[in-house]
Amino acid sequence: MPKFQEAWLSTAIDLSLPSAYVTAMAKLPIITLPDPILRTQSSPIERVDDETRRLIDDMLETMYAAPGVGLAAIQVAVPKRLLVVDTSDKDEPKRPIAMINPEIVQLGQTTRVYEEGCLSIPDVLVDIERPATVTVRYVDRDGKAQELNADGLLATAVQHEIDHLDGKLIIDFLSRLKRDMVVRRFKKQSRTM
């Protein structure tokens, strides 16, 4: 079964980004379950400015360091409709994509099951069936309207991250019993920390 893990299981951290880029960015703490902020409905970004671009850079830095292939702003406690993804393989050049106010305009007919993980829910994997292809409209870091046709891992990653913007998590695809078990485990962990 193909896997989409927001967090790669490998602990290798790739620092192959140009150094000037790295030093300008800051790693942000990632919010994890059971923090209720993850259930926030994020609001649209009205103006793409330097502050937005800085947040994008910080989110990319945070995602690459995790390491992960996707991150939504709400996962770093910013309730704005913004996500970053990069589904390139480790030995490929990086392909960072930042989507501001992403909207799904079309979902493919066929579906595909990926085993998904989430940086906000460490060590939990859920088999999720989603449309195998997706067309997304969004605004890029320069404030320009863009449209992307995604398939494979990228299609799954984009749908996973857009779910975050609506406060939806991978555990919502589980039965209520299993979901409650996961939530209880994270509540217990957060009490002992």
CB 33 within 8 A of CB 183: yes
Per rule CB under 5 A, is residue 58 in the interface with Ni ion? no
**CB-nearer residue toward Ni ion: 48 or 165:** 165
Binding mask 70-109 for Ni ion (x = CB under 5 A): ----------------------------------------
Which residue in the set 118, 124, 128, 153 belongs to the binding site for Ni ion (CB under 5 A)? 118
Give the pairing type, strands 97-107 and 82-85.
antiparallel
6 catalytic per annotation = no
CB 84 within 8 A of CB 71: yes
CB 98 within 8 A of CB 62: no
Count of positions (residues) in the chain: 193
Nearest residue to Ni ion on Cβ basis: 118
Name the minimum Å distance from CB 75 to Ni ion.
Answer: 7
Q: Which amino acid is at 169?
A: L
Binding mask 5-34 for Ni ion (x = CB under 5 A): -x----------------------------
Give the pairing type, strands 111-118 and 121-131.
antiparallel
User: How far is 10 from 116, CA to CA, in rounded Å?
Assistant: 15
User: How far is 104 from 14, CA to CA, in rounded Å?
Assistant: 31
**CB-nearer residue toward Ni ion: 112 or 164:** 164
**CB-nearer residue toward Ni ion: 25 or 66:** 66
**CB-nearer residue toward Ni ion: 107 or 125:** 125
Question: Which chain residues interact with Ni ion by CB under 5 A?
Answer: 6, 118
